[in-house]
């Protein structure tokens, strides 16, 4: 089974990224042949500073490795280090109906949030399809908000296969329930664009500040509180054991404890959870050549597969 997933280097990674993409991807690396790419081409739709893009890409690699990605099991590489991706994207664009792209929820949402309506943003699903199809991917871990893009990938692959008698493999989604349950400090889905994130590797003072800024209702200390509507409880449940979650739920219902105390408990669990990863991150930073070596090895593995798939595609279309 070949597994494919990617993450954009658009900023500092937060716990929504961790539970939504990184932890599921790291868990899957033991179940098959994994290819994980840093989507720097995609990031160009929002980043126009070259040094920022380079720095962010390196930070994503660093954080992914610190969180448990094993480069002996999974290929980690930059999207731009596999030139076959953009070649395939152009070929796929010649069979992709414009109406299909116009139905993309992500494009509509980003335009509504004020992003420029560039051709790159509009054709994002075609490049995403190339990312997936160039490696003959079997399984793609995605959140609910990305499920439509995977369906579009399958539609594009089918159209290519029908048009050119091709043999592009149709991938299957691997839906991660946790991607729907990581709220930010304001209760919305955690996202850099909302400014409501808690960073994975933020310093202690800043992390505590962000946890303590979580928005709550006006319930008094004495009042019983609803855990199911609480961002504090939802986030705590991501880090806690079943017994600890049950204890906090009971404390919410019982009353007599204020939100401030619950926030302190959340911070303590969050900080403890990422402690081994902070140590691993420091070890990686002590070896200046390690990240580059990992990315180069990953790119070599990725190019071997991409070259084979692209040779079939070029033969199919007559190039």
Compute the Cα dihedral for 239, 2, 129, 81 and give only its sign. positive
Distance CA 271, CA 201 (A): 9
Q: Report DSSP state, residue 11.
A: S
* CB 147 within 8 Å of CB 174: no
Phi, psi of 85 (to 5 degrees): -60, -45
Task: Name the residue among 37, 94, 83 with its Cα closest to residue 60.
Answer: 37
Give the tokens for residue 56.
Answer: 């962010």
Polymer length in residues for the chain: 319
Give the residue numbers annotated as catalytic, written as ranges: 110, 189, 192
141 with 176: CB under 8 angstroms? yes
């Amino acid at each position: 089974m070949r597994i494919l997933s990617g993450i954009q280097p658009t900023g500092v990674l937060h716990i929504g990224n961790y539970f939504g993409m990184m932890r599921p991807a790291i868990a899957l690396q033991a179940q098959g042949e994994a290819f994980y790419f840093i989507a720097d081409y995609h990031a160009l739709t929002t980043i126009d500073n070259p040094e920022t893009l380079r720095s962010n890409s390196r930070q994503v690699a660093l954080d992914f490795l610190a969180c448990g990605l094993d480069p002996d099991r999974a290929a980690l590489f930059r999207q731009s280090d596999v030139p076959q991706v953009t070649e395939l994207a152009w070929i796929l664009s010649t069979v992709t109906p414009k109406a299909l792209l116009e139905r993309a929820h992500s494009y509509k949402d980003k335009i509504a949030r004020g992003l420029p309506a560039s051709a790159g943003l509009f054709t994002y699903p075609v490049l995403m399809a190339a990312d997936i199809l160039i490696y003959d991917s079997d399984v793609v871990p995605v959140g609910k908000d990305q499920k439509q893009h995977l369906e579009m990938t399958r539609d594009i692959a089918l159209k290519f296969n029908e048009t050119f008698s091709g043999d592009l493999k149709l991938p299957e989604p691997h839906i991660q329930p946790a991607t729907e349950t990581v709220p930010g400090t304001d209760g919305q889905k955690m996202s850099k664009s909302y400014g409501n994130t808690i960073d994975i590797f933020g310093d202690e003072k800043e992390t505590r500040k962000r946890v303590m800024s979580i928005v709550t209702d006006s319930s008094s200390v004495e009042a019983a509180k609803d855990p199911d509507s609480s961002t504090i409880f939802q986030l705590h449940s991501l880090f806690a054991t079943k017994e600890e979650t049950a204890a906090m739920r009971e404390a919410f219902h019982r009353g007599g404890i204020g939100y401030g105390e619950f926030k302190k408990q959340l911070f303590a669990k969050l900080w403890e959870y990422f402690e081994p990863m902070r140590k691993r991150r420091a070890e990686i930073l002590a070896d200046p050549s390690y990240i580059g070596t990992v990315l180069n090895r990953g790119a070599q593995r990725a190019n071997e597969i991409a070259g084979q798939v692209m040779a079939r595609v070029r033969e199919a279309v007559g190039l």
